[in-house]
Amino acid sequence: MKLHELNALPEAKSKKRVGRGPGSGMGKTATRGQKGQKSRSGASIAPWFQGGQTPLYRRLPKRGFNNARYSVRYATINLSDLNKFFKDGDVVTPELLKEKGIIKKQLSGVKVLGNGNLEKKLTIKANRFSMTAVAKIEAAGGKTEVI
C-alpha cells in the first residue's frame, strides 16, 4: 500500500445528545415521548413483563420429572377379611384374592395388615406383611411366605 492509494475514512457519525435544549431537536422530552412508564427516569421494564396480565410462564402447565409416577402402592387386606372368605388350611395367594374379588387391583403387590383376629390356620403368600399380622398369623398356627 502506498500513500497515494489511501482512501479517506468514512465520516464518523456523532453521538446523539438528547435533552440538550430545543435547538438540538431532541430537547424537552429527550425522544422519550409524553408521559408513561417508559418516559420516567430510572424506568426499565423486565422483558417478560406483560403489562399486568397473567404472564405466559404462569399460563402454561408445569412439565418435568415427578417421582409420584414411580411410587410403590400395595393392595391391602386385613386379617378380619381373610377370616370371612377362607376355610381352615387354605393357601391364600394374591391371584386367589383377586379371583374372589377381595382385592380389585394387585397394584405393586399385596400387603397383609393385622387388623382384626385370625381364627383359622392359613398359609398366606403376599408381597409384604405388617409385624402385627405376622404375629397373629403365627399365633393362630398359620404360615407367612413373602413372594
Q: What does the DSSP 8-state code read for residue 47?
A: T
Q: What is the mean pLDDT of residues 119-144?
A: 90
Q: Is the pLDDT of residue 59 over 90?
A: yes
Distance in angstroms (rounded) separating the CA atoms of residues 104 and 17: 79
Q: Is the pLDDT of residue 71 over 90?
A: no
CA 131 to chain centre: 33
pTM over 0.75: no
For residue 80, how many other CB atoms are within 10 A of its CB?
13
pLDDT number for residue 17: 92
Q: Is the pLDDT of residue 100 over 90?
A: no
108 pLDDT tier (thresholds 50, 70, 90): confident
Residue among 48, 53, 16, 51 nearest 36 (CA): 51
User: What's the CATH fold of domain 72-146?
Assistant: Ribosomal Protein L15; Chain: K; domain 2 (3.100.10)
6 pLDDT tier (thresholds 50, 70, 90): very high
Range with the poorest average pLDDT among 20-24, 85-89, 143-147: 85-89
Distance in angstroms (rounded) separating the CA atoms of residues 67 and 14: 60
76 - beta bridge partners?
A: 111
Ordered by start, the domain boundaries in the chain are 72-146
For residues 18 and 29, the answer to whether their CB atoms sit within 8 Å is no
pLDDT number for residue 61: 94
Q: What is the mean pLDDT of residues 3-16?
A: 90
pLDDT number for residue 87: 84
